[in-house]
Structure 1
Amino acid sequence: MSLPAEQKNQRRKETRLFLFLVVCLFPLLSVAIVGGYGFIVWFLQMLYGPPGPPN
């Protein structure tokens, strides 16, 4: 392979990786992080009760 063909192939791989990260991985990761945080808050409220002044 010549050098420009290798660069073109590398650029195509980088573009596909970027699209995978932006379209698939980052949205799934953000949903998992927010969902995990919500689960932790829900579970802690089951153990310690809701926030607010004590009765």
Structure 2
Amino acid sequence: MQQTRSDSDTAMPSGRPRQRSEWLTFLFLTVILAPMIAVAVVGSYGFLIWIYQMIAGPPGPPAA
């Protein structure tokens, strides 16, 4: 017969410390990490366009 665990054995600790940790994680993700990732993505895209234009020339009609 297989031994089963009770709910109290497998339950995660809950209460104030966990709730505070979740809030701090949420604030870190929304206030610090998300803006940093957004700036990095936009900056990388701009850098790629700049490098491409150095190789292929500026956009517009060909020079006469």
- TM-score using structure 1 length: 0.82
Identity %: 48
Distance apart, 1:33 and its partner CA: 0.5
5+ residue gaps, structure 2, are 1-10
Higher relative contact order (CA 8 A, sep 6+): 1
Write 1 or 2 for the structure with the bigger share of helix: 1
Give the total of aligned pairs.
Answer: 52
Q: 1:1-55 alignment to 2 at 5 Å?
A: 6-55=14-63
Pair member with larger Rg: 2
**Which residue identity does 2:45 align to in structure 1?**
Y
**Which residue identity does 1:42 align to in structure 2?**
W
**Which residue identity does 2:59 align to in structure 1?**
P
RMSD: 1.7
* Counterpart Cα distance in 2 of 1:7 and 1:21: 21
